[in-house]
Structures are given as structure tokens and as C-alpha cells.
Amino acid sequence: MAELTRIATLGLDDPTIQVHPSARRLRLRSNATGLWAVSKCDEVPRLPERLERLQKLLVWRQGTNSRFRMLGPDEALALGLAMQGISFAKVREALVACGPLDNTTACATLPAKLG
């Protein structure tokens, strides 16, 4: 939050965040990320499983390779808003309004309020 506040004081004209066209967000309820990681290590994969908690991922292309990483709740919220063209100031405002993102239900309606 301190870094976001510092950036906001730079006097930029409320920019939007440009996300690379290859970037996508995925929401998974399976252990697909674990299965993929095991397959890359030439280990015997476990069986597919349904997870209790939703996994939020960022997927993108780097050259001819696909990459991904799991997102924390604050990253997922900020990236989702940025991909909708919400300004940097509004993304920061949403993160501040949500506070610690232990309860994501409280932040579920923010995109509609900020747009």
C-alpha cells in the first residue's frame, strides 16, 4: 500500500495499466497446476482432484512458451480491474477499500462500483 500511495503522488494523469494482449486470467478448482509442475519434473502425476479453494492464475506467452503463476487475492483483484480498463487510481482505491483481502466476498462488487 505504501508503494501504491508513493506512485500516486508522482503527478501522473491517472494512467491506466496496459496488460499484454497474451495475458489471460484463469480460475481453477482442480490441481491442474500441480499436475503440470509434476509433469515438467518427469515425476509420476497424481490423479486430478477438485480443490476446495479456487486458484486464480495469470497465464501469458513468452516467446513460444506458455507461462503461468498463481495470483494472491490482491493481485487478482488489481489485475482484473486493470484488464477492464479501470484507471490506476481506481485500482489503488479498490485495494485500499478492501484492506487485507481475507474476505474476497466484500470486494466482489467493486468492479461495478468503480467502472
| pLDDT tens for the 115 residues of the chain, in order | 677 667 666 666 677 888 888 899 999 999 998 888 888 787 887 889 999 999 999 999 989 988 899 998 888 988 999 999 888 888 888 888 877 655 555 555 555 555 4
Q: Residue 106: its pLDDT value, please? A: 52
Q: Residue 11: its pLDDT value, please? A: 64
Angle, in degrees to the nearest 10, between helices 73-83 and 88-98: 150
Q: Residue 36: its pLDDT value, please? A: 84
**For the chain, how many structural domains are there in total?**
1
DSSP assignment of 25-68 equals EEEEEESHHHHHHHHHTTPPP----EEEEEEEEEEEEETTEEEE
> Which residues span the domain enclosing 7?
2-114
Q: What is the largest CA-CA distance in the chain?
A: 53
* Residue 25 near residue 39, CB atoms below 8 Å: no
Q: What's the gap between Cα 56 and its chain centre?
A: 6
